[in-house]
Structure 1
């Protein structure tokens, strides 16, 4: 399977912090939506910042369509659309004036498409952007990111400020964005139900390390959550576990489940996230 983006052994540390990214490696295939899951401070934003070039990495490589993203290939950054949890656009101008600026910044700027998104999102063209609500700001940021024809769309908690109907619209747009299999999405969100709806792959990060990277179908079909005794627990190799009174809640591969003794539990992506982030590794 060909990949749009490949990150290998990415490391990043800060002089005034003990936090660091530790050998972060993953690939984003063409036509896929990758859900990026982790607690606040786990390393999602740092990883995304390194990809788009906002943060200097200590080591590692980030390759997009065969070319390293670095100072020598700044043009590649124009192929990346970014939406943050806070708007990074000028607030003292209107949408109408903003579009005139952006068409001179982006070579592939599509004014017709931008107008379609502004209409779809019911955004006022003549109101100053600084007066927008958080949800309106997120919709505008998404419209901008989509309208310069990016190959990779990165969203960092971009749906958090939207109501349920707004999130539904955004998820539908993202699904259509990757439909032609030439583009991809990296989506971080604490709303795991959104990720569960549209993601093809799930990547979990904890304390700067990728602890699980798996397709959504494989996670839901080839893994299990069980409750077991200490004796049963000693016989398995869990991905993560939590001790609950005298029993253990364990996330393991389906092949390890002894159907005769172990009690399976129904689980969602949210349940797995809680186990991976709050649980332990053996």
Structure 2
């Protein structure tokens, strides 16, 4: 049975005349990697900051169900005190969280080796680092805490392809250790390689949360030409499907499609095979479908 470690319910937040969040609900599950998807301005970063305690919601709640939950955070654009060297920042972090020198050095060295971060850079001020190494520095700082939950806003920004692979492997390693990872990303192709859970947000509202591997196993993407009688039959069977000028599309269970085909006469079955495209679901199409058509 999945163990929920954190639950957000009914989050709402206004900034002046802008209602950033209306109704955000989500659950984070132990040992799972959750991908948080939405357009620019959908409310992803605001949600993360409320969960972290950087902002207070106008309504709703965040319940940390796991006692003593340790949370690490890597922002999209890491910010450090510009006058401090890397080793000083890590030392302050270790001191604030009561880590001994031996343990903090062990964790630092393990994370640095995993991310190919040159430890000699710690002698320099972080402001002199490249953007990519500043991002790696933020990962180092979070990994000092041995977090139960790692939250990352745009985890792959500023990183080269080698570093992207290293960060992806880091997430997998954390998941295998029973840790929980929550990432907000626009790089859907990378997120899809990792996703256990997918949450889609639009205009400050949660549209859905889905078990992605289970959906990939059981679901299909259906796209039908808007010609002939097959369109009406599909719309009658799946009224939640959506239309554009030329196409009818939706995501359904594979079992439902097979049952649907078996119930058609030969002429309709031929039309379905000719005018309907089916394929396994991919995360980009899934996100675009929900973001284009769905709201609450």
TM range (shorter): 0.7 to 0.9
The residue correspondences of 1:150-169 to structure 2 (distance < 5 A) are: 150-169=147-166
Shift of 1:188: 0.9
Count of equivalent residues: 270
Shift of 1:275: 1.7
Aligned-residue RMSD, C-alpha: 2.3
Shift of 1:55: 1.0
Shift of 1:96: 1.9
* Deviations, residues 230-257 of structure 1 (Å, cap 9, x unaligned): 41452144666341x3322323343443
List gaps (5 residues or longer) in structure 2: 262-268
Whole-Å separation in 2 of the counterparts to 1:240 and 1:190: 25
| 8 Å contact kept, 1:95–1:129 | yes
Question: Structure 1's 195 and 39: CA in aligned 2 closer, same or farther, altered over 3 A?
Answer: same
Larger Rg: 2
| 8 Å contact kept, 2:86–2:126 | yes
Higher-helix-fraction structure: 2
Shift of 1:87: 0.7
Say if 2:114 is the partner of 1:117: no
Say if 2:175 is the partner of 1:178: yes
Whole-Å separation in 1 of the counterparts to 2:248 and 2:97: 54
Question: Structure 1's 60 and 108: CA in aligned 2 closer, same or farther, altered over 3 A?
Answer: farther
| 8 Å contact kept, 1:14–1:20 | no
| 8 Å contact kept, 2:216–2:280 | no
Q: Which runs of 4+ in 1 moved over 3 A?
A: 236-242, 252-256, 279-282
Shift of 1:224: 2.0
- Helix, strand or coil at the partner of 2:81: coil
2:219 maps to what in 1?
223
The residue correspondences of 1:205-244 to structure 2 (distance < 5 A) are: 205-228=201-224, 229=226, 230-237=231-238, 241-243=242-244
Whole-Å separation in 2 of the counterparts to 1:138 and 1:5: 26
Whole-Å separation in 1 of the counterparts to 2:109 and 2:239: 50
* Deviations, residues 113-151 of structure 1 (Å, cap 9, x unaligned): 113323432251222211112111111101111111221
Whole-Å separation in 2 of the counterparts to 1:25 and 1:61: 9
1:276 maps to what in 2?
290
List gaps (5 residues or longer) in structure 1: 68-74
- Helix, strand or coil at the partner of 1:178: helix
Whole-Å separation in 2 of the counterparts to 1:144 and 1:241: 45
2:252 maps to what in 1?
252
* Deviations, residues 62-107 of structure 1 (Å, cap 9, x unaligned): 111356xxxxxxx75xx11000110122222221222222222122
- Helix, strand or coil at the partner of 2:124: coil
Shift of 1:176: 0.9
The residue correspondences of 1:1-282 to structure 2 (distance < 5 A) are: 1-22=2-23, 24-65=24-65, 79-108=70-99, 110-119=104-113, 120-123=116-119, 124-181=121-178, 183-228=179-224, 229=226, 230-237=231-238, 241-243=242-244, 245-257=245-257, 258-259=260-261, 260=269, 261=272, 262-280=276-294
| 8 Å contact kept, 1:238–1:251 | no
